[in-house]
Homo-oligomer: A and B are copies of this chain.
Amino acid sequence: MSSQTVATVERAADVLVRFAEAGTSTLGVTELADSLGMSKAAVHRVLASLRSRGLVELDEDSRRYSLGLTAMRLGLAYLDRIDIRRLAAPELAGLSARTTETATLSIRTGLNRVYIDQVKPPREVIMAVSLGVPYPLHAGGSSKAFLAFLPEVEIDSYLSAPLDPLTPATVTDPERLRTELALIRRRGYAMSISERQRGAASVAAPILDHHSLPAAVISVCGPAERFIGEADACAAALLEATDRLSARLGHRA
């Protein structure tokens, strides 16, 4: 079939991905070699090559590597193509400021959903999401907000496959989920407590386009204990924001 690929490039890509996965900001040659099962020499050469293109940077003093400016350019170039992000950015900032919680923006990629932006409030204990990581459409506020506003056919098709739980609180029974989706449509927003991420809670609502389909979803989220008390106020602010954005995409109420 089609595995017409270049192993060297894949290994170089693996090195890059390692930087994104690793919790630490810098990595050493040996560290990378061990975790990827490559020889130190190979890793070193790959790093030198990536460095020549600015994808990674070398701290001459510590002899450790980190992601470089070019890596950032790639990420921002990707995000540039998504103009909903530009449109929503000020609303995210406003929401986060008004609620003093984290505001996020997600888009759909097939049967998944990824965060593509977030604005965090300037306080100590906050919730922070991982941008770019795919999550299923049935667990968590943002996911359910997407699912609820998809065409019926797509909902049926999604619910016909088994639903894996991400936490003990994830709803995996299709009929219970269906009932909840109806509620979400009626209220206009979804709510979740620990469904996707333990200890996290959120309210989420879609930005609807001129077909009344969700172009993106905005959520306001925070640590569950604190957030539950704020949820109603957050939902109100959230719906104001998504209404404005939906209007800009040509949606009529």
Chain B residues, CB < 8 A from A48? 2-6
Contact B153 A53 (CB under 8 A): no
Chain B residues, CB < 8 A from A9? 8-9, 12, 45-46, 49-50
Q: Does A36 belong to the interface (CB within 8 Å)?
A: no
Convert A186-222 into 0s and 1s, putting 1 for each residue whose CB lies closer than 8 angstroms to a CB of B: 0000000000000000000000001101000000000
Q: Does A176 belong to the interface (CB within 8 Å)?
A: no
Known: A67-B77, A72-B132, A211-B119. A90 touches B151 (CB 8 A): yes
Q: A93's closest neighbor in chain B, by CB?
A: B151
Chain B residues, CB < 8 A from A7? 49
Q: Does A19 belong to the interface (CB within 8 Å)?
A: yes
Q: A119's closest neighbor in chain B, by CB?
A: B211
Chain B residues, CB < 8 A from A123? 110
Q: Does A172 belong to the interface (CB within 8 Å)?
A: no
Contact A83 B25 (CB under 8 A): yes
Oligomeric state, in copies:
2
Q: Does A245 belong to the interface (CB within 8 Å)?
A: no
With A and B bound together, what is the CA distance between A109 and B126 in angstroms? Answer: 13
Q: Does A10 belong to the interface (CB within 8 Å)?
A: yes
The residue that A132 contacts in the complex, of B73, B108, B248, with Cβ under 8 A, is: B73
Q: Which range contains the number of A residues in contact with the other chain?
A: 35 or more
Known: A4-B48, A50-B9. A151 touches B20 (CB 8 A): no
**Closest beta carbon of chain B to A202's beta carbon, Å:** 20
Contact B97 A157 (CB under 8 A): yes
Q: Does A182 belong to the interface (CB within 8 Å)?
A: no
Q: Name 13 extra pairs, CB < 8 A, besides A2-B48, A6-B45, A67-B78.
A: A9-B9, A12-B13, A16-B74, A17-B73, A23-B80, A24-B80, A25-B82, A71-B77, A72-B248, A72-B250, A73-B132, A75-B76, A89-B211
In the complex, 17 of the A-B residue pairs with CB atoms within 8 angstroms, ordered by the A residue number, are A8-B9, A8-B12, A9-B45, A13-B53, A14-B53, A16-B74, A66-B81, A67-B81, A72-B78, A72-B79, A72-B248, A72-B250, A75-B79, A76-B132, A76-B252, A94-B152, A119-B211
